[in-house]
Amino acid sequence: MSVTPGYRLVSLTPDRASEMLAVNTWAFTGDMRPEDLEAYASEIPFSRTRAFEIEDPSHGDVGTLAGVAASYTYRMRVPGASLVPVAGLTWVGVHPGHRRRGLLRAMMGDHLADARARGEVASALYAAETGIYQRFGYGLAARQVDVRAPRGASLRPVAGSDALRVRIEDASLERHGGAIATIQRRLDRPGTPTLDHEEALRARFADPLAHRRGSERMRVALVEEAGGEPVAYAFFRREGRWDDDGNPGGTVHTWSFGAAGPAAAHRLWSVLLDLDLMGTVKAGPLALDDPLLWLLEDPRSARARVRDNIWLRIVDVPAALTAREYLCPVDAVIQVTDPLFHDNAGPWRITSRDGEGHVEAAPGEEPDLVIGVQELSAAYLGGVSLAALAGAGLIEERTPGAVHALAAAFESTSAPVCNLFF
Ligand SMILES: CC(C)(COP(=O)(O)OP(=O)(O)OC[C@H]1O[C@@H](n2cnc3c(N)ncnc32)[C@H](O)[C@@H]1OP(=O)(O)O)[C@@H](O)C(=O)NCCC(=O)NCCS
């Protein structure tokens, strides 16, 4: 890992939360309200927080932080529903006075090496700007739909929905953390992270005033079976609004939700789409094939936007490829190019007869396909077809038919999405 002259890389402890948040406030703009410090600090995964301190006085006050990065410890669903260890990179920021000196590049080298050392197969992130991370091998692995639906939008019926009960309460880590972690574990969509790690779970419940922007504190809708088993949840806030004639037309905002099964999804959306005094429900991220999009009786009534969801970077090619299932039999050799980790390069023989993947080094064998780690990472969760990437000229086919065969095997039966922003 290259170290940028004049700075030293350190791990941060919780007593440096305000220093870290100061760098992020510079990087992301805005002012940190003193009363928000505790809430923001509770979101930081200090077991994996790194920073660059100024070492050379010509750069500023020695010991001051110039750049920061942190990651959550997740396990993520992959096609076939296995869970794989993944780092969730976040809080990346470099003070504007220290930008373009290689701090991010050095922090990325540190982060990816750390993920490998921890046995994680990939790193995932949400990109503030999509141009930043592709140079480090991140591919666009999932896209999301955000919808804006009118209050009262009717849903097609689903058996069992009415039997489920719903609690609507102030969001609380103590009261709802366990249930939400349980629901996350029950979701089998590729891209879903679990909330097994205490830091990852705690971060979901931070509610700084700055996040409210005129709306209320964070609430939760929790759907349970009659016996109390949690099956769906949504974090939400309402923003009240009245027009000049006194008519209510507020907005429900929901940014993180999950439902284990069709009845749970139906019950959850029935509640969120029918809150008093509201006119609109803004919901996302939805997968491109989310049940809500099929349940709406008038799908055109919900305005939908598609955008990038998570970006993924495989750090351990054989472990990653072994962990996912393959939808049809395959036997092919791929040559991976990876400028950062040469041992990812292969060639690798992928075989699968029964859905289960077997991946082994195939030294000296001629590859059927040559693929960069960015494209392999993009295709990993089944959100983009290898054929589409080849159609864009991003993959080189050496054996005629190899793209078609591998594209079919890499498909996923459901579109990936990460339902938690981090
Ligand atoms: C994005 C950011 C972290 C970059 O930090 P930095 O220390 O200036 O980056 P580096 O000097 O290490 O640059 C590494 C490479 O990324 C490129 N790069 C950096 N920021 C970029 C951006 N916003 N868009 C496109 N490319 C970018 C650099 O040009 C450089 O390219 P090169 O190696 O090919 O010459 C920093 O500008 C920042 O904090 N921005 C605001 C907050 C933000 O967007 N954070 C990311 C959250 S996901």
What would the pLDDT profile of 316-348 be if each residue is shown by its tens digit?
Answer: 999 999 999 999 999 999 999 999 999 999 899
- Closest C-alpha residue for ligand 1 atom 18: 132
Instruction: For residue 361, give the 3-state DSSP assignment.
Output: strand
Phi, psi (rounded to 5 degrees) for 342: -70, -25
Domain count, the chain: 3
State the pLDDT at residue 346.
84
Judgement on whether residues 338 and 233 belong to the same structural domain of the protein: no
Judgement on whether residues 48 and 137 belong to the same structural domain of the protein: yes
Residue 237 lies in a domain: yes
Residue 352 lies in a domain: yes
Token reading at 360? 């082994």
Judgement on whether residues 228 and 254 belong to the same structural domain of the protein: yes
Top mutation candidate among 105, 134, 340 for ligand 1, by most atoms within 8 Å of CB = 105
Q: What is the pLDDT of residues 341-375, one digit of tens each?
A: 999 998 999 999 999 999 999 999 999 999 999 99
Q: Is the CB of 110 under 6 A from ligand 1?
A: no
CATH code (residue 121) = 3.40.630.30
Residue 183 lies in a domain: no
Token reading at 356? 């289960």
State the pLDDT at residue 3.
67
CATH code (residue 337) = 3.30.1050.10
Distance from the Cα of residue 115 to its chain's centroid: 16
Q: Is the peptide bond preceding residue 57 cis, with omega within 30 degrees of 0?
A: no
Residue 186 lies in a domain: no
Q: Is the CB of 27 under 6 A from ligand 1?
A: yes
Judgement on whether residues 137 and 240 belong to the same structural domain of the protein: no
State the pLDDT at residue 271.
98
State the pLDDT at residue 4.
85
User: Percent of the chain at pLDDT above 70?
Assistant: 99
- Closest C-alpha residue for ligand 1 atom 11: 100
Residue 335 lies in a domain: yes
- What are the angstrom distances between the C-alpha of 121 and each of 84, 136, 226, 256, 407? 7, 15, 39, 25, 21
For residue 145, the CA-to-ligand 1 centroid distance in Å is 27
Final residue of a domain: which of 141, 163, 189?
141
Residue 422 lies in a domain: no
Judgement on whether residues 66 and 152 belong to the same structural domain of the protein: no
Length of the chain: 422
Top mutation candidate among 132, 133, 312, 422 for ligand 1, by most atoms within 8 Å of CB = 132
- Which residue spans within 62-109 are E strands per DSSP? 65-77, 83-94
Judgement on whether residues 78 and 90 belong to the same structural domain of the protein: yes
Judgement on whether residues 255 and 338 belong to the same structural domain of the protein: no
Residue 110 lies in a domain: yes
Residue 68 lies in a domain: yes
Atom number of ligand 1 nearest to Cα 95: 39
Q: Is the CB of 29 under 6 A from ligand 1?
A: no
Final residue of a domain: which of 96, 124, 141?
141
Instruction: For residue 302, give the 3-state DSSP assignment.
Output: coil
Q: Is the four-CA dihedral 242, 248, 249, 255 of positive or negative sign?
A: positive
Q: Is the CB of 93 under 6 A from ligand 1?
A: yes
Residues 277, 170, 255, 12, Cα dihedral to 10°: 150
Residue 123 β-bridge partners: 87, 313
| Number of Cβ within a 10 Å radius of residue 19 | 15
Atom number of ligand 1 nearest to Cα 107: 12
Final residue of a domain: which of 308, 332, 347?
308
Judgement on whether residues 131 and 158 belong to the same structural domain of the protein: no
For residue 199, the CA-to-ligand 1 centroid distance in Å is 26
* Mean pLDDT (the chain, rounded): 97
Whether 146 and 302 have beta carbons less than 8 Å apart is answered as no
- Which residue spans within 367-411 are E strands per DSSP? 369-372, 395-397
Judgement on whether residues 36 and 65 belong to the same structural domain of the protein: yes
Token reading at 219? 């609430």
Widest pairwise Cα distance in the chain? 76
163: domain range? 144-171+207-308
CA distance 184 to 53: 37
Query: Which positions of the chain have pLDDT values less than 70?
Result: 1-3
What is the model's pTM? 0.97
Judgement on whether residues 78 and 129 belong to the same structural domain of the protein: yes
Of 322, 330, 385, 333, the C-alpha closest to 354 is 330
State the pLDDT at residue 337.
97
For residue 337, the CA-to-ligand 1 centroid distance in Å is 23
| Number of Cβ within a 10 Å radius of residue 114 | 17
Judgement on whether residues 336 and 295 belong to the same structural domain of the protein: no
For residue 98, the CA-to-ligand 1 centroid distance in Å is 11
CA distance 31 to 196: 32
Judgement on whether residues 110 and 231 belong to the same structural domain of the protein: no
Q: Is the CB of 102 under 6 A from ligand 1?
A: yes
Q: What is the pLDDT of residues 136-183, one digit of tens each?
A: 999 999 999 999 999 999 999 999 999 999 999 999 999 999 999 999
Instruction: For residue 145, give the 3-state DSSP assignment.
Output: strand
